[in-house]
Amino acid sequence: MSFSYNQAQGYLDFVIYPFNGDETPAFVALYTIGTGESFTQARVGTDFGSTPWNGSYSYRPPAQPVKAAVYSDVALTSYTGHTSTLWSWWVHHKLLANTEQQSGSDWVAVPTDLTDGGASFQTWFVPQSGQGPDRPIRP
């Protein structure tokens, strides 16, 4: 996937490529948001609700860890043209998904550590046996 913002034209450009390595896009879309926007944050991850901020979703822990998503070749580019993987000065922390239904122990999913020079990671669903009061046990 590739997402970019054209400040002069005022649109977001979304391009999704097939998994087979074909360079012909499988999906292309433009979303007009207006000129002169300034983005101060980027999130790369897996959402479980209807929006990234929705904490309302049902969850039943799997019996074993289950891979939910794989991210590879992730890079971000600043307005000044600086491109870097997630091992960079602008990355602050991992986000862990917790439904907060059982006093902080109902963990939904966790990301793995970064690999491939900071360009890759995975998200895993946490089994009940891997949940704890402070944080989940990583797969």
138, part of any domain:
yes
pLDDT for 81 equals: 83
Answer yes or no: do 65 and 30 share one domain: no
User: Which pTM value belongs to this model?
Assistant: 0.73
43, part of any domain: no
Q: Which two three-digit tokens encode residue 137?
A: 């046990």
In 34-126, DSSP assigns E strands to: 66-71, 76-77, 83-84, 97-98, 107-111, 121-125
Residue 55 within a domain: no
- The answer on 112 and 65 residing in a single domain is yes
- Per-residue pLDDT tens digits for 103-117: 555 667 888 888 999
Asked if the structure places residue 25 within a domain, the reply is yes
In a domain, 48, yes or no: no
pLDDT at 134 (0 to 100): 61
Measuring CA to CA, which residue among 109, 88, 89, 90 is closest to residue 98?
Answer: 109
Cβ of 39: how many Cβ atoms within 10 Å?
A: 10
Domain that holds residue 114: 61-139
